[in-house]
Amino acid sequence: MKLWDKGYTIDQAVETFTVGRDRELDLFLAPYDVLGTIAHTMMLQQVGLLSREDLDALVPALREIYKDCLNGSFVIEEDIEDVHSQVELLLTRRLGDVGKKVHTGRSRNDQVLVDLKLFTRDAIERTVGKIQTLFTALQRRSEQTRDILMPGYTHLQVAMPSSFGLWFGAYAEALTDDIRQLAAAYDIANLNPLGSAAGYGSSAPLNRTMTTQLLGFADLNYNVVYAQMTRGKLERVVAAAYASVAETLSRLAMDCCLFNSQNFGFVHLPDALTTGSSIMPHKKNPDVFELLRARCNRLTALPDQIRHMTTNLPVGYFRDLQLLKELYLPLFAELDECVDMMTYAIENMQVEHDLMDKAIYQPAFSVERVNELVADGVPFRDAYRQVADEITKGTFRFEGTLHHTHEGSIGNLCNEAIKKRMQQLVDAFPFTSVHQAIDTLISQH
């Protein structure tokens, strides 16, 4: 079945090539296609293009199909082109000609757009929840290790004292900026394209404000041409936000690989988080972090891949956009798995105590000694030269205590302020109002 069928036969090789992986990938979108169809059907009845009798037959049937999508029993049959065709076919089988009426005023173009946006909203909400869990784990470890010193590095050279509390806490705060980007991506996904049809609107008297409200969107993509132009742009913006999270995870994974090596020995992994070597009996490899690094680095490339597929397309719809599904739809599960694994690793790694007692890290306290001399009235430049000379001669020793008190330093991590910021960012997402709209849509009309 093809929604565009005109009665002639297409070459099988051409059909296989043009359908591609749509049957497989459209299963991601199936429940959202049904939700969009319920809203569109209610709107058609409101504007007089469907009878109340038709609506009373269609909506219960669509809700049954929606349940099938959620429980995994919905399938796209072998000779059916895509999810839109499958939903309409199921309606027609159950209701006869009434099932053929749901496409009035729609194109597959605005159907797939609304499907993608509804899918994206839910996917971002799941990811935000997982990021909150990782954020909490990082902050908990930061508090647990706030007084355990470690060397800080610049240029991979020992630089100044840091702490595990500062290190864990840094990645927690990094996630707040990632959430900001996810919020911006969510805002773009939360605009309704339904009613733009093939990109030029419809002569049918559609009520696009009604479908916006029914589906819980914040507002419309008003201009129908631009609504279609958001295909590709939506995927790129969302992929960029996910790439930001992936970059944070990848950098943390690299730290863990480095700090777990014998040359550093800052963190230690339980056996369950390591793998062995087929030839070297002593090896305990941090494969979890290496694979996290590689998988996240792959995700950071996605925005560019999408851009290269869409950057020179003129206005209007083109079949090139179909291939974006292959890049876009698996993105969310990929990142979510990485966030889950990083959370598990952070919660279970051990950190090394008394690192800074080692002579090799004595130079890290040079700035502390300079600041002590400055506090005693020695000009900074003279104090700097005095300490540098002691280091050159091998006589430098620091036996004082650290006095880092300013905001965000070793002695003042500001974890509560960072936690408050994260909570404010998460609370700003309109998840509750979206849930209420969708719950209403699938329960009454």
Instruction: Check which CATH number belongs to the domain holding 302 and give it.
Output: 1.20.200.10
Q: Does the pLDDT value for residue 4 go beyond 80?
A: no
On whether residue 392 sits in a domain, the answer given is no
Rounded Cα distance, 425 and 181, in Å: 10
- Residue 402 CA: distances (Å) to CA of 62, 169, 384: 66, 19, 18
On whether residue 399 sits in a domain, the answer given is no
On whether residue 31 sits in a domain, the answer given is yes
Identify whether residues 142 and 212 lie together within a single domain.
Answer: yes
Percentage of residues in the chain with pLDDT exceeding 70?
93
Residue spans of alpha helices (H) in 47-159: 52-71, 83-95, 108-144
Identify whether residues 115 and 181 lie together within a single domain.
Answer: yes
User: Phi, psi (5° rounding) for residue 295?
Assistant: -65, -40
Q: Does the pLDDT value for residue 13 go beyond 90?
A: no
**Of the candidates 43, 91, 27, the residue with the CA atom closest to the CA atom of residue 63:** 91
Strands of 255-397, DSSP E: 267-268, 350-351
pLDDT for the residue numbered 207:
97
Identify whether residues 333 and 299 lie together within a single domain.
Answer: yes
Q: What is the average pLDDT across 28-49?
A: 97
Q: Does the pLDDT value for residue 32 go beyond 70?
A: yes
Q: Domain of 74: which CATH number?
A: 1.10.275.10
CB 380 within 8 A of CB 370: yes
Q: What is the average pLDDT across 120-128?
A: 98
Using the 3D structure, point to which of 80, 104, 128 is the last residue of a domain: 104
**Of the candidates 38, 98, 83, 80, the residue with the CA atom closest to the CA atom of residue 62:** 38
Q: How confident is the model at residue 282 (pLDDT cuts 50, 70, 90)?
A: low
Identify whether residues 113 and 100 lie together within a single domain.
Answer: no
pTM of the entire predicted model: 0.91
pLDDT 10s digits, 159-205: 999 999 999 999 999 999 999 999 999 999 999 999 999 999 999 99
Q: How confident is the model at residue 1 (pLDDT cuts 50, 70, 90)?
A: very low
Using the 3D structure, point to which of 41, 69, 104 is the last residue of a domain: 104
Q: How confident is the model at residue 5 (pLDDT cuts 50, 70, 90)?
A: low
On whether residue 302 sits in a domain, the answer given is yes
Identify whether residues 128 and 231 lie together within a single domain.
Answer: yes
Q: Which two tokens stand for residue 305?
A: 């891949």
On whether residue 373 sits in a domain, the answer given is no
Identify whether residues 160 and 298 lie together within a single domain.
Answer: yes
On whether residue 345 sits in a domain, the answer given is yes
Rounded Cα distance, 186 and 111, in Å: 19
On whether residue 408 sits in a domain, the answer given is no
Identify whether residues 183 and 274 lie together within a single domain.
Answer: yes
Identify whether residues 94 and 173 lie together within a single domain.
Answer: no
Q: Which two tokens stand for residue 248?
A: 């944070």
- Average pLDDT of the chain? 91
Using the 3D structure, point to which of 68, 85, 104 is the last residue of a domain: 104
CB 342 within 8 A of CB 249: yes
What is the CB-side half-sphere exposure of residue 113 using CA atoms within 13 A? 30
**Of the candidates 426, 417, 419, 347, the residue with the CA atom closest to the CA atom of residue 137:** 347
Domain that holds residue 72: 12-104
Answer positive or negative: Cα dihedral of 175, 180, 185, 189: positive
CB 37 within 8 A of CB 112: no
Domain count of the fold of the chain = 2
Q: What is the average pLDDT across 69-88?
A: 92
Q: Which two tokens stand for residue 267?
A: 């963190």
Q: Which two tokens stand for residue 111?
A: 């159907």
Identify whether residues 122 and 259 lie together within a single domain.
Answer: yes
pLDDT for the residue numbered 12:
63
**Segment holding 157, helix H or strand E:** strand 157-163
Rounded Cα distance, 80 and 1, in Å: 5
On whether residue 397 sits in a domain, the answer given is no
pLDDT 10s digits, 211-238: 999 999 999 999 999 999 999 999 999 9
Identify whether residues 328 and 436 lie together within a single domain.
Answer: yes
Identify whether residues 174 and 295 lie together within a single domain.
Answer: yes
Identify whether residues 98 and 131 lie together within a single domain.
Answer: no
